[in-house]
Chain A
């Protein structure tokens, strides 16, 4: 009887004392594989061979020159918006309004481009970038001010503001800003030469990639090496400690939300200056939402966000490739969702150690 008891199987769940980077990386990779397996069930049910499909997606997104170019182009707005979201998330401000902030940034940048088409590029582009940044930031402030003053839930307000921003841009391109020579398409006039981002490496990759990488660098330095970054980190960890230390929490909520929205606004500017060269209704096909996933999977670390944005850009491009065999482009959304689901679910394995061991028999 004694032995019986001793050999019983136990499941032991214990908190990890510390989490090594190896554990973090391997658990993340395993959960991505799990997500792909999960999605393959659906692919299989639809009569496709999952491995072939994934191979097709991978080849298109990362192997071919055309595909790689597209991947980088799609990654640029994800990087900027993801970085913007990450800084708000660090302070536990749930800005899910990046989509709207992208649209408002695109709107402001387009306004400048259309109003001053004859300005030289060296003046016009910075002006557009600044306008996009400020407009995106202001749009975020619309939600941040009630949050700071009366604790109005910013998750709801930032989300609602997305719809307003998207409809505002629609109104402009269907109405007052519609190109008279545009055969009634909902588009503005094409921008002048000076309003277009230079292209790099003889590909369609535009200057926005440099901006995005610079932003990641600046954010990294600000967060880790400046007094302001220290305040942001403290407020994110504990608001009551921040107040106790004499930090102005309200001012920081406003500043961080402005910066967060501003970076998303820069993403919107990049789309009109680097890709579309005009304002149109679908400036962003949901970059602002995907960027939330990017920020989260990137653990709010600027460099990891850049990497994840690149992978997610590839996912979108890959999914467009499989349309040729009859799969919808929404496959990429499904994979994104599954990856997020599994990575978040795997969080418990990072914080706890679970072992299935038999109790020692000696004694």
Chain B
């Protein structure tokens, strides 16, 4: 090909207590290419990139950058070698301006800040790569997509020509994803190398030139995009035949389980976060809530589950008025909740599996009501759930912080469906999960739907919302923009509504 090899990671091995995260991994990146690093959670993608960005040091193996063997002692030394990482969670100081944040990450500043120079550079980058952002804007004023641009500019300003993007599309709208991809292509054209860590196959096929697949800490293969299709990629990732198809059987819809009637509520900052929201979820139905994160989704789940006060409107569960009742009353009315914040709200990281399983049942059901907690029964219950839902854990005495993301979510969901709820409220149930875990979570939800449960599903991935839900509603700035049958709406319609366009305009366009 004649292209320069910028990065050559040879036989990298990294061990953590109890696991080999990278096992003799080989990874090569050329100048001017977009290289996808594909693999399930726990496949070792993040570890490998953390090694490349100087956060971890490999136990074995060597890293060659532009033909020279290097030791990356710290993120700083990685930057000195032109490697810049854009993390999934942005590391920006929100009260500062864009230019100030960029100054913070740069080396060439003397005692006095030269903001002019930075602003000039920002303008240059934004023109060259389509990274449009106002250097004088404060970070908190920016959308997530714009903040990501700031992160990219930050590493470009530091002189990076090898950019690593960790799950860059997880928080973006479809339109923002498109814009990001345009930028990525322009950077590659300029001779920079871009590594994208992801497990979304359609994005891999869209953006990358070459793909390296990791599985269980080992390199499976590096292939050019043209050589494979998504089916083959999935097989390499999972090493088993999977049907990524989700089958939504027709299920008769029963009576309304959850009804919201013109519900409004305030957000944490005292501003209106929900504005006259009206919704219904019936037995045997999944209602998907689409929308860019931060448009009232969290407040919606909290109002339903009693964790936030509604300022007006009514919340009915099975025709019973449950507006502003205590969480306990609402739990007892049969409402289950799989919160966005799994560790901390849904699960308690330092407690073991048993203690997490009984978080809601410690005072009801088979554990009875006396003074003493029947620990043996609790244990039995936990063991049953672990077995029936195939949760991978060394034992029920293991603190849940040691479980992997997919198993945590299974455990949480299993607990929430174990007591036969009427309604399941679930937020971002597959966030951060790999293909295998995603599939099992969706199948669990679909199975619950077949059992006649009502499900309110908040998610960010439009493809899956459209596949799994019977109907979809879009939240934008606390309002329901539209409510449609998924069989009739198109992804483009919903995407437009997520950006605040009314469904009618969307139709005409």
Interchain Cβ contacts within 8 Å, total number: 72
4 smallest CB-CB distances across A and B, nearest first, come from A246-B328, A17-B17, A246-B327, A240-B345
A241 and B71 contact, Cβ closer than 8 Å, known pairs A230-B355, A230-B362? no
| Distance between Cα atoms of A245 and B347 in the complex (Å) | 10
| Contact residue among B327, B346, B360, B371 (Cβ-Cβ distance under 8 Å from A226) | B371
User: B60 at the A/B interface (Cβ < 8 Å)?
Assistant: yes
| Distance between Cα atoms of A237 and B71 in the complex (Å) | 40
B246: A residues at CB distance < 8 A? none
Check A241–B359 contact: CB distance below 8 A: yes
| Distance between Cα atoms of A14 and B373 in the complex (Å) | 37
| Contact residue among B60, B339, B347 (Cβ-Cβ distance under 8 Å from A363) | B60
Check A244–B358 contact: CB distance below 8 A: no
B332: A residues at CB distance < 8 A? 246
User: B391 at the A/B interface (Cβ < 8 Å)?
Assistant: no
Check A237–B337 contact: CB distance below 8 A: no
Check A227–B373 contact: CB distance below 8 A: yes
Check A234–B373 contact: CB distance below 8 A: no
Check B348–A238 contact: CB distance below 8 A: yes
User: B326 at the A/B interface (Cβ < 8 Å)?
Assistant: yes
Check A225–B344 contact: CB distance below 8 A: no
| Distance between Cα atoms of A241 and B400 in the complex (Å) | 14
Chain A residues packing against B (C-beta within 8 Å):
5, 14, 16-17, 225-231, 233-234, 237-238, 240-241, 243-248, 363
| Contact residue among B307, B348, B362, B370 (Cβ-Cβ distance under 8 Å from A243) | B307
| Contact residue among B17, B359, B371, B375 (Cβ-Cβ distance under 8 Å from A245) | B359
B338-377 interface code vs A (CB 8 A; 1 in, 0 out): 0101001111111100010011101100000011110100
Would you mind naming 17 contact pairs between A and B with Cβ atoms under 8 Å apart?
A: A225-B373, A225-B375, A226-B373, A228-B371, A230-B373, A234-B351, A238-B344, A238-B348, A241-B347, A245-B327, A245-B359, A245-B360, A246-B327, A246-B329, A247-B328, A248-B326, A363-B60
| Distance between Cα atoms of A221 and B455 in the complex (Å) | 40
User: B18 at the A/B interface (Cβ < 8 Å)?
Assistant: yes
The residue of chain B having its C-beta at the shortest distance from the C-beta of A229 within the complex is B373
Not counting A225-B373, A240-B344, A244-B305, a sample of 11 additional A-B residue pairs whose C-beta atoms are within 8 angstroms of each other reads: A5-B71, A226-B372, A230-B358, A233-B351, A234-B348, A234-B351, A240-B341, A243-B307, A244-B337, A246-B327, A246-B332
The residue of chain B having its C-beta at the shortest distance from the C-beta of A353 within the complex is B17
| Distance between Cα atoms of A227 and B368 in the complex (Å) | 10
B123: A residues at CB distance < 8 A? none
User: B236 at the A/B interface (Cβ < 8 Å)?
Assistant: no
- How many chain B residues sit at the interface, stated as a range, is 35 or more
A248 and B328 contact, Cβ closer than 8 Å, known pairs A230-B358, A233-B351, A237-B351? yes
| Contact residue among B17, B71, B359 (Cβ-Cβ distance under 8 Å from A234) | B359
Check A241–B346 contact: CB distance below 8 A: yes
In B310-347, the 8 Å CB interface with A consists of: 326-332, 337, 339, 341, 344-347
| Contact residue among B355, B362, B402 (Cβ-Cβ distance under 8 Å from A227) | B362
Closest-CB distance, B492 to chain A (whole angstroms): 36
Interface of A is mostly: helix
Check B350–A237 contact: CB distance below 8 A: yes
B372: A residues at CB distance < 8 A? 225-227
B348: A residues at CB distance < 8 A? 234, 237-238, 241
Closest-CB distance, B18 to chain A (whole angstroms): 6
The residue of chain A having its C-beta at the shortest distance from the C-beta of B351 within the complex is A237
B375: A residues at CB distance < 8 A? 225
A240: B residues at CB distance < 8 A? 341, 344-345
Check B328–A241 contact: CB distance below 8 A: no
A14: B residues at CB distance < 8 A? 17
| Distance between Cα atoms of A231 and B351 in the complex (Å) | 12
Closest-CB distance, B357 to chain A (whole angstroms): 12
| Distance between Cα atoms of A84 and B85 in the complex (Å) | 49
B355: A residues at CB distance < 8 A? 230, 233-234
The residue of chain A having its C-beta at the shortest distance from the C-beta of B18 within the complex is A17
Closest-CB distance, A354 to chain B (whole angstroms): 14
Closest-CB distance, A356 to chain B (whole angstroms): 15
Closest-CB distance, B399 to chain A (whole angstroms): 9
B402: A residues at CB distance < 8 A? 17
B328: A residues at CB distance < 8 A? 246-248
Check A243–B344 contact: CB distance below 8 A: no
A225: B residues at CB distance < 8 A? 372-373, 375
In B9-35, the 8 Å CB interface with A consists of: 17-18
Closest-CB distance, A333 to chain B (whole angstroms): 34
| Contact residue among B326, B344, B351 (Cβ-Cβ distance under 8 Å from A246) | B326
Check A244–B18 contact: CB distance below 8 A: no
| Distance between Cα atoms of A229 and B60 in the complex (Å) | 48
| Contact residue among B339, B350, B362 (Cβ-Cβ distance under 8 Å from A244) | B339
The residue of chain A having its C-beta at the shortest distance from the C-beta of B368 within the complex is A227
Check B371–A244 contact: CB distance below 8 A: no
The residue of chain A having its C-beta at the shortest distance from the C-beta of B327 within the complex is A246
Q: Which of B337, B359, B370 has the most CB of A within 10 A?
A: B359
B458-496 interface code vs A (CB 8 A; 1 in, 0 out): 000000000000000000000000000000000000000
B358: A residues at CB distance < 8 A? 230
| Distance between Cα atoms of A225 and B60 in the complex (Å) | 48
| Distance between Cα atoms of A229 and B341 in the complex (Å) | 24
Closest-CB distance, A3 to chain B (whole angstroms): 13
